Structure formats: structure tokens, C-alpha cells
Amino acid sequence: LLQLPVPIAVFFLLYKERMVPCFGSSSHPLLSADELALETRPTDKDELPSTLHRAQAAAAGHEDLFSCCQSKNFRGASYTYYAVHITGALVLFMTDGIVGEYSGFIYSYAVEEPLSVVHKVAGYLPSLFWAFITLGRLISIPVSYRMKPATMVFINVVGVLMTFLLLLIFSSSVVFLFVGTASLGLFLSSTFPSMLAYTEDILQYKGCATTVLVTGAGIGEMVLQLLVGSIIHDQGSYSFLVCGMIFGGLAFTFYALLLFFHRMYPKPSSDVDEASPDKPAAMDDTGQYQR
């Protein structure tokens, strides 16, 4: 309920800007093309026509916000174009789902047999998990300057899989439960931003292609919590680690498929960009909502 005012305000802004295709609006956009041109304040009179043209293009882009969702913009796209989106979203579906289900049920797992951790001590586990997620995100900032996003995602996915494997092997050790929780938080911390950076390097997109990945991550965080909760209720607390192991294995499998489709994905030509660096990215055979 506390978050509801934000999407309501954003929807109202989109409605005022006439960006919502399902609702007609007689109001004018907040900034017209002429006003956008004045905002740029060109210093030379010769620059005014080009500035106005860019402003009009920007205004047209705002009015056509949902154009990337239209079927005509996907004509001629190769199957690898869709495969990269789907496999990338599935990796985030699994990894963000693990974040949600692990933080939600690690306390319940710890207080049950065979560990039977004291409730007060078990309460530190979710805090430890989120603390190392925060620490991992801070560490990933300097690491990302020296390491490619694909390598970071690979390390994260393999680390998650190996951590769950060790948690299953040492399932009766309370000490390793804390160590494994911290390790899992570190590996999961930078998976989401690294995956976004990796797929952006492949697709070179700007716009609502990100929605596919973000939506996959959000749905995974919601669905896997519900799924794991029902399984723990029916099968017992030990199934908590088994589910994590399965999800980690699926994340690794989908990432391997993503690497496979990346190799098959046609590289976009850079001739157009080199010839006119200020020109928006032209359409190619990989997709049509690159603007």
C-alpha cells in the first residue's frame, strides 16, 4: 500500500503525456517539440534547425513509447534475437527467485530438525544474507571494471550452484549454514546488473527490451517463494535446500543456453554508427525497436 502512490503518479504522468494507448486524452503533452528545442538553448543560429529536429524526434519517441510492443517491429528478427531475451529472463527468473525464497524461508529451515537452531540465532540468518548481498554489490562495482559481464554472471551462477551443493553435503552443520548463507548472498548480489549489462552488450538495445528481463526477475521472485513454501509444507524442511539446488542447476542450464545463442547471434554492423555518430541506431535484421 505504501508503494501504490508511486505507480499511480507515474500512470497519471503517462496519461497526461498521452503515452497510454488504451486511454484517449485530450490534454497536451507537458513539453512540446518547440519547448524541448528551447530547453537545449543552442548557442549558434545555424544549430537551431538540427536542434529542433532532434527535439521533434524525441517528442515523437515519447508519443510512440509502446511501439516496441507492436508486432510490426519484430518482422525480420532472427530466432536467436528472441532466444537471448528468453534465456536471459529465465536466468534472472531463477536467480532472483532464489533470493526471494532463500531470504523468506532460511529462518524456517534453520529452526526445524535436524539443525534445530535457537530462534534468536536463526533470526540472524536473513540479516546475514542481505548484508552480504549489499557487500557483494559494493565489491562488484570495482570488479566490473576489470571483468566482463558474461564472466561475472558465470562466476555467480556457478557459485550459487556449488554453495547449494555444499549446503546439502553439510546439511547438519550450523556453522556451515551461516558460511553458506553469506557465500550465497555474495554470489547472488551482482547477478541481476551483470545480466542486464551482458544482454545489453549482445542486443545493443535502448528501451523496453529491458522489460523482458526485469519482468522475468520479478515474476521469479514471486512464483518461487510460493512454490517453495508449498513444497516445504508438504515435504518437510529438507526440501528447501533441494529446491535451491534445482533452481541453481536450472539457472546454470539457461545461462549455458544463453552463451550458445550468443555465439549464433549475428553481430550488428558498425558502419552506420561510424558514418553518423549522432544518428539513432538503424534497424537491422535482429530487431526493429532499436532507435
- C-alpha separations of 44 from 34, 36, 41, 47, 50 in Å: 17, 16, 9, 5, 11
Residue 211, pLDDT score: 83
How confident is the prediction for the chain on average, in pLDDT? 80
Highest mean pLDDT among 34-38, 113-117, 126-130: 126-130
Q: Which of 18-22, 91-95, 114-118, 189-193 has the lowest mean pLDDT?
A: 18-22
Q: Is the pLDDT of residue 46 over 90?
A: no
pLDDT digits (tens, 9 = 90+) for 71-126: 555 566 677 888 888 999 999 999 999 999 999 999 999 999 888 899 999 999 99
Residue 261, CB half-sphere, CA atoms under 13 Å: how many? 22
Whole-angstrom distance, CA of residue 44 vs CA of residue 97: 53
Mapping DSSP to helix (H, G, I), strand (E, B) and coil, where does residue 287 land? strand
Residue 199, pLDDT score: 87
Q: Which of 42-51, 75-84, 172-181, 248-257 has the lowest mean pLDDT?
A: 42-51
Nearest to 266 by CA among 291, 238, 251, 287: 287
Residue 289, pLDDT score: 39
Q: Give 284's strand partners.
A: 287
Whole-angstrom distance, CA of residue 118 vs CA of residue 78: 55
Residue 151, pLDDT score: 94
Residue 288, pLDDT score: 43
Q: Is the pLDDT of residue 270 over 70?
A: no
Highest mean pLDDT among 157-166, 256-265, 280-289: 157-166
CA angle 118, 121, 124 (to 5 degrees): 145
- The answer to whether 152 touches 140, Cβ cutoff 8 Å, is yes
Q: Is the pLDDT of residue 290 over 80?
A: no
Q: Which of 41-45, 83-87, 115-119, 260-264 has the lowest mean pLDDT?
A: 41-45
Q: How far is Cα of residue 48 from the mean position of the Cα atoms in its chain?
A: 39
Domains and CATH numbers, the chain: 79-264 (1.20.1250.20)
- The answer to whether 241 touches 168, Cβ cutoff 8 Å, is yes
**pLDDT band of 16, cuts 50, 70, 90:** confident
Whole-angstrom distance, CA of residue 226 vs CA of residue 120: 25
Q: Which of 44-58, 240-254, 272-286 has the lowest mean pLDDT?
A: 272-286
Residue 50, pLDDT score: 57
Q: What letter would DSSP give residue 43?
A: S
